[in-house]
Amino acid sequence: MSLLQRDPGNRVQILDEEGHVLQGASVPEIDDDTLVGIYRKMRLARHFDERAVSLQRQGRMGTYPPLSGQEAAQVASGYALDEDDWVFPSYREHGVGLVRGLSIKQTLLYWMGDERGNALDPDLHFFTVAVPIGTQIPHATGAAWASKLKGEDRAFIVYFGDGATSEGDFHEGLNFAGVFDVPAVYFCNNNQWAISVPREHQTASETLAQKADAYGFDGIQVDGMDPLAVYGVTREAIKKAKNPGPNDRRPTLIEAVQYRFGAHTTADDPSIYRSEDEVEEWKRRDPIPRLETFLRERGLLDDERIDAIADEVREHVADAIEAAESEIRPAPESMFEHVTGTPDWRREEQEAYLRRLREQYGDDTLLED
Amino acid sequence: MSQVEQTGETQNLTLVQAVRDALHHELERDEDVLVMGEDVGKNGGVFRATEGLYDEFGEDRVIDTPLAESGIVGTAIGMAAYGLRPVAEIQFMGFIYPAFDQIVSHAARLRTRSRGRFTCPLVVRAPYGGGIRAPEHHSESTETFFTHMPGLKVVMPSTPYDTKGLLISAIRDPDPVIFLEPKKIYRAFRQDVPDDGYTVPIGEATTRKEGTDISVYCWGAMTRPTMAAADNLEGEIDVEVVDLRTVSPMDKEAIVSSFEKTGRAAVVHEAPRTAGLAGEITAILQEESLLYQEAPVERITGFDVPFPLYALEDYYLPEAARIEDGIRTAVEF
């Protein structure tokens, strides 16, 4: 029986809370470089996240959605993709972005309110960030469907949170996926909280994974803070999307059970709705020390290598922050670009009007409150 | 892309047949074009707008979808971003609202948000408007919602010829187009329509009747009663009728140049008056041609009430007599 066909309530876990392989669990086939790569990117994601929150606190960046605690789900699932596969992110998938080659500088620019943060390399198979909840799910279904119609051999993974499973677009996107049997993986980052509303207030279903039953395809729950389990499950789902067995449907819903250690965004204060004890309880499952323990036991990491990775990560993030902050503000007229392929008279007139105002009054006067 | 023969022949088509003809032409011309929606496949559409296309092009190009408007438009956006050219049908405009978020938050913004990396060459077709004795929620005319959104084009044809040419333009357009079909006149009259794949440009109005006393602006299903009103007033008031055809972007030049000739204006639309497009046209005339203006601009529109059940719809919709009344008011000011 395939890993994906087990009961949705039977959570896949390979590492225990300390990072030792659970008895009877089988470690997925992952080469050593990939294992260390996952660790390095998880450290990078964590450090980036801490710096980003700090930048917001210092007034150097706008509202930002932190990811700490969710590195295993993001990074290990990103590593499970083949090069040509596509990612449809929500707004918190900075960690997946790192794996797929999205530069930290661009992520920073986006959250610093600069549209150039969205001007991604055309070769990057990473869709634009979706801020409304769950709306990217039908987009991923549509793109996967288009790829299948074109006869390609690609998989599409779309990320969303536990709250998104209450949205109509979740239902419609997964329902279409089942009906048209599209090569997509629906990756739910169940981090327990949709801002202040807990998972059990989103649905009376025992698991989110079991919702896949209603769409006629596999749903599986995985320990989202166990990178090995996340990798194994996602890899199976990606393979099945491309090469389903005779009785398989291509799509899979993965519920990665995890916790966001920080706030929903920097504008949120989680102490209003959840206890510090709860946070501490989940921090015991922190994916980074867990993988570190596993890799030490495998002989792939030691203190020296860990320190080197920490230095490298610090330097990488510091350079990216410097690069993002040294960008001068985009030209105001750039807001008129890319509205439609050919600008119509409205945009032309309004752009000319803004230009005239700037020339006549100067930016300082114009921008005074 | 297959070569399509230029025949030079014409067919005498109704407006809904012209929709079908345009879809057929583009499905044949470009293999990336596909048609999707509720009942558009085997059934050929509830108004027969896709009749026979399923048999000719198959289930992968003329797709019967689940009954889910947001799912239809949402997946079509994904397809469009991935290089296909979906034409999504929403069965009635009154049912477009579940897809509203996908249209305004995503289709309209995808190009901007990705700084031109992704485009959304998507057409959303929907029959709109009253006058067919339909049940509740089947008679809406809410073009204003979409016209308000940067990034969308909104087309509302009034003749079979324009319908085919504008729909072909919409399908070939690199950006999303909301294509609103006046279902009241789907079968009201026929017109010779070329077999060839001609286009009518989006954003260009046309003058249906030249006149010197007043400019009357209209589009879609309101063009017929407006023309009837102009005919009825012949010999009394010389009415110029400007059919906008596209309401976003509007043809400002045509609007202004007609007004500068006549100095008086009326706008006819079946949508409710408040924040309706008559207000936008009035603002354009104020900004561009105040000194030509000889009377307040008359707004001959639907009322600010939910569209009534059909026993009263003829009182709600501007018909020729009401349009004549509005024209007289502007001319006699």
- Tell me which residue has tokens 């709109």: B128
State how far the Cα of A142 lies from the Cα of A272, in Å rounded to an integer: 39
CB-based burial of residue A23 (10 Å sphere; 0-12 exposed, 13-18 middle, 19+ buried)? Answer: exposed
Interface test with A, best of B61, B65, B75 (most A CBs within 10 A): B75
Catalytic-residue membership of A260: yes
Q: Which residues of chain B does CATH 3.40.50.920 include?
A: 206-332
Q: How far is B161 from chain A (nearest CA, A)?
A: 24
Tell me: do A206 and A93 sit in the same domain. Answer: yes
| B-chain residue closest to A340, CA distance | B151
Give per-residue burial for B276-294: e unless 16+ CB within 10 Å, then b.
bbbbbbbebbeebbeeebe
State how far the Cα of B317 lies from the Cα of B122, in Å rounded to an integer: 31
Q: Please indicate whether, in this complex, the C-beta atoms of A142 and B81 are within 8 angstroms of each other.
A: yes
- We find that the CATH architecture of domain B206-332 is 3-Layer(aba) Sandwich (3.40)
Q: What confidence score (pLDDT) does residue A270 get?
A: 96
CATH of domain B10-194: 3.40.50.970
Tell me: do A147 and A57 sit in the same domain. Answer: yes
Q: What confidence score (pLDDT) does residue B76 get?
A: 98
Q: Which residues of chain B does CATH 3.40.50.970 include?
A: 10-194
- Tell me which residue has tokens 């789902």: A237
Instruction: Answer whether the bond into residue B296 is a cis peptide, omega within 30°.
Output: no
What's the CATH number where A235 sits? 3.40.50.970
Tell me: do A110 and A165 sit in the same domain. Answer: yes
pLDDT (mean) for A83-105:
97
What is the 8-class DSSP label of residue B193?
E
Band (A218; pLDDT cuts 50, 70, 90): very high
Tell me: do A27 and A142 sit in the same domain. Answer: yes
State how far the Cα of A16 lies from the Cα of A293, in Å rounded to an integer: 10
Residues A53-80 pLDDT 10s: 999 999 999 999 999 999 999 999 999 9
Q: How far is B227 from chain A (nearest CA, A)?
A: 29
Q: What confidence score (pLDDT) does residue B1 get?
A: 37
What count of CB pairs under 8 Å joins A to B?
128
State how far the Cα of B199 lies from the Cα of B207, in Å rounded to an integer: 18
Residues A163-184 pLDDT 10s: 999 999 999 999 999 999 999 9
Nearest residue to B207 (alpha-carbon basis) of B199, B196, B215 = B215
Nearest residue to A170 (alpha-carbon basis) of A61, A255, A67 = A255
Q: In the numeric block, which tokens belong to residue A132?
A: 């409304």
CB-based burial of residue A316 (10 Å sphere; 0-12 exposed, 13-18 middle, 19+ buried)? Answer: middle
Tell me: do A337 and A253 sit in the same domain. Answer: no
CB-nearest partner of B114 from A118, A150, A341: A118
Chain B interface residues (partner A, CB cutoff 8 A):
34, 60, 65-66, 68, 70-71, 73-84, 98, 101-102, 105-106, 110-119, 150-151, 153, 173-175, 203, 249, 252
Tell me: do A359 and A252 sit in the same domain. Answer: no
CB neighbours of residue A347 within 10 Å: 17
Q: In the numeric block, which tokens belong to residue A110?
A: 């986006």
pLDDT (mean) for B227-249:
98
| B-chain residue closest to A178, CA distance | B66
Say if residues B36 and B67 touch (Cβ distance below 8 Å). Answer: no
Q: How far is A131 from chain B (nearest CA, A)?
A: 10
The two beta strands, B214-218 and A184-190, are unpaired
Contacts within 8 Å (CB) and 24+ apart, A311-314: A312/A40, A313/A40, A313/A43, A313/A44, A313/A47, A314/A47
Q: How far is A316 from chain B (nearest CA, A)?
A: 25
State how far the Cα of A34 lies from the Cα of B134, in Å rounded to an integer: 62
Catalytic-residue membership of A273: yes
pLDDT (mean) for B11-39:
98
Domain that holds residue A39: 3-325
Tell me: do A89 and A147 sit in the same domain. Answer: yes
Tell me: do A307 and A349 sit in the same domain. Answer: no
Q: Which residue type occupies A310?
A: A
Tell me: do A316 and A342 sit in the same domain. Answer: no
Tell me: do A27 and A67 sit in the same domain. Answer: yes
- Total of domains in chain A: 2
Give, to the nearest 10 degrees, the angle between helix A136-149 and helix B69-81: 60
Residues B83-130 pLDDT 10s: 999 999 999 999 999 999 999 999 999 999 999 999 999 999 999 999
Tell me: do A114 and A149 sit in the same domain. Answer: yes
Tell me: do A264 and A351 sit in the same domain. Answer: no
Residues A306-354 pLDDT 10s: 999 999 999 999 999 999 999 999 999 999 999 999 999 999 999 999 9
Chain B CB contacts of A128 under 8 Å are 110, 113-114, 117-118
Q: Which residue type occupies B45?
A: G
Chain A CB contacts of B153 under 8 Å are 340
Nearest residue to A260 (alpha-carbon basis) of A199, A337, A301, A312 = A199
State yes or no: ipTM above 0.90. Answer: yes
pTM of the model: 0.96
CB-nearest partner of A341 from B76, B83, B119: B119
Nearest residue to A160 (alpha-carbon basis) of A191, A196, A184, A189 = A189
- Tell me which residue has tokens 């296309």: B53
Q: In the numeric block, which tokens belong to residue A282?
A: 């989940």
Q: What confidence score (pLDDT) does residue B295 get?
A: 98
- The answer for residues whose C-beta is within 8 angstroms of residue A162's C-beta and 6 or more apart is A188, A189, A190, A191, A192, A193, A194, A199, A202, A208
Element of type H or E holding B62? strand B62-64
Which of A43, A46, A199, A264 is labelled catalytic?
Answer: A264
Which of A235, A260, A285, A290 is labelled catalytic?
Answer: A260
